[in-house]
Structure 1
């Protein structure tokens, strides 16, 4: 079954609703991974009001400590999934407020696993990227699921990946990620020559069944400094 998948760092979902609803309807998105929705646990239900044709799955910025008065509001990961897919959705048990996952179980077909990711920003120290085990944990999750079906990692990884469309001098983050991607024979789809638009990343192991990748044009309703990748 064909799926149209997207990911976007919305930089606050409340102000992002007009643009998001346009993207969902105009591009006929089946599943979109959202990073940085900035919602606390008591506010997470807001995602289910964005579009009545979609249901939300994911993590709040204070997922494991909702009792805290202060928390880092610049986070939160989620999926908006088209209602017709919801009977086939199983949420994955992932112990991180930076990673959430779903499994799509179509009858008689291998499972499709999708993980919405928001890794520590480049303004944060390198040790937060590694020592907090966010990257190691992500790859430890990713590897076994590749034996069970098709796996997509979608979101804001806060690192660069070299490929046919993008060359740069590797930094420590990029070298570390490159090692993991090579170990799992994985690629960023949007570094490949058939992609269109600026460089963003959706990572998966097998590219044989990808028909198109693109970035939408500028839009006055997009108040985020990121664009979605579809």
Structure 2
């Protein structure tokens, strides 16, 4: 199956809605990453009206919690076709420049998509480094569970071994460390050599990428950077990738079964011998080399092998299970207290992160200070993850 992916910095969705909806339909887009949609939390529902065939997972700029701040840049969104609605789970990432989703291909196969918008050159290099470190954290957390795809506006150029600016070096080092490559920097990518053009057309550069693991390069069916269009009023143009991935072979009921992994560390010699005997006696596995050497034949052979190996591991090897009783202290009261604490932090950030304290803060405490300064209606539930 082919998965069509787009990454685009829209520079304001109100002026780019027509071009976006036309692009989604024309290119049968499955997953679309958006940067700089410029929507406040109360207006994010606009995406419901763009297309009835898509769902979305979005975050808004944390600076928007300060109503006096009109700057709206750190805003990202991932939109995906409703046909994948029961296969996709939004990820909870503590960042207003990064949003992610999990796509389940089979009971034990996952792909993770992360749409990002890294700080532009108006911000310090230390801030850019902090967000690169956040990408490292995300990659370390999810790469062991599946394939990680990063897409969006990186606000840096990818020039391996020749990077001059600190931003370019940080980006190149991150991608190299994660064995990841921007597909639109490969020779197979066609279309415009630039993804960003300044309004005065003095600056043209490639800073928008779709990045996949190097081992998936052979799975690329098509890749190109859009040419400019009269309907596109953004300074950026979209990047398109068509990726060939294994067919989704599980049923809807299987999609909701918790993933219980084999615990190989607890497997003894008897368990391993039983597992090996099952594989050695399986005729389908023994004759896998006789499969048809076309795309469908190889896909079917890979799917069969994955299902067989998973089944024998599930039968012969002990399981890993999450033990809820290891955290008995986490209950409804603690959950509500945690939610309230996060709400107070949002208010504290919106108030300019005051430090040092005042007499009122010292005598009444931080909670009373915020309670007197803000009413509960000021902290909307929509702001809380």
Secondary structure of residue in 2 paired with 1:161? coil
List 4+ stretches of structure 1 deviating above 6 A. none
What is the distance in 1 between the residues matched to 2:21 and 2:95?
Answer: 27
Is 1:88 the counterpart of 2:82? The answer is no
2:226 maps to which residue?
216
Is 1:153 the counterpart of 2:150? The answer is yes
What is the distance in 1 between the residues matched to 2:109 and 2:181?
Answer: 21
1:178 maps to which residue?
172
Q: Equivalences for 1:87-166 in 2 at 5 Å?
A: 87-108=86-107, 110-130=109-129, 133-162=130-159
Is 1:203 the counterpart of 2:211? The answer is yes
Secondary structure of residue in 2 paired with 1:211? strand
TM (normalized to structure 2)?
A: 0.55
Q: How much has 1:110 moved relative to structure 2?
A: 1.0
What is the distance in 2 between the residues matched to 1:82 and 1:186?
Answer: 25
What is the distance in 2 between the residues matched to 1:180 and 1:79?
Answer: 22
Q: Does the 8 Å contact 2:74/2:117 carry over to 1? A: yes
The number of aligned residues is 223
Q: How much has 1:158 moved relative to structure 2?
A: 0.3
Q: How much has 1:67 moved relative to structure 2?
A: 4.0
Q: Does the 8 Å contact 1:189/1:202 carry over to 2? A: yes
Long gaps (5+) in structure 1: none
Distance 1:36 1:169, change over 3 A: same
Q: Does the 8 Å contact 1:117/1:155 carry over to 2? A: yes
Q: Equivalences for 1:12-23 in 2 at 5 Å?
A: 12-23=12-23
Q: Does the 8 Å contact 1:196/1:215 carry over to 2? A: yes
Secondary structure of residue in 1 paired with 2:224? coil
RMSD (CA atoms): 1.7
1:68 maps to which residue?
66
Q: Which has the higher contact order (CA 8 A, sep 6+)?
A: 1
What is the distance in 2 between the residues matched to 1:28 and 1:103?
Answer: 20
TM (normalized to structure 1)?
A: 0.91
Write the deviation string for residues 117-175 of structure 1: whole angstroms up to 9, x where unpaired.
Answer: 00001222212212xx2110112101332211111100001000026xxx965211111
Q: Does the 8 Å contact 1:57/1:91 carry over to 2? A: yes
Q: Does the 8 Å contact 1:162/1:191 carry over to 2? A: no
Return the structure number with greater helix share: 2
Q: How much has 1:222 moved relative to structure 2?
A: 0.3
Write the deviation string for residues 198-225 of structure 1: whole angstroms up to 9, x where unpaired.
Answer: 2441112132311111122221110101
What is the distance in 2 between the residues matched to 1:66 and 1:194?
Answer: 40
Q: Which one is further off, 198-207 or 143-152?
A: 198-207
Name which one, 1 or 2, has greater alpha-carbon Rg. Answer: 2
2:297 maps to which residue?
none
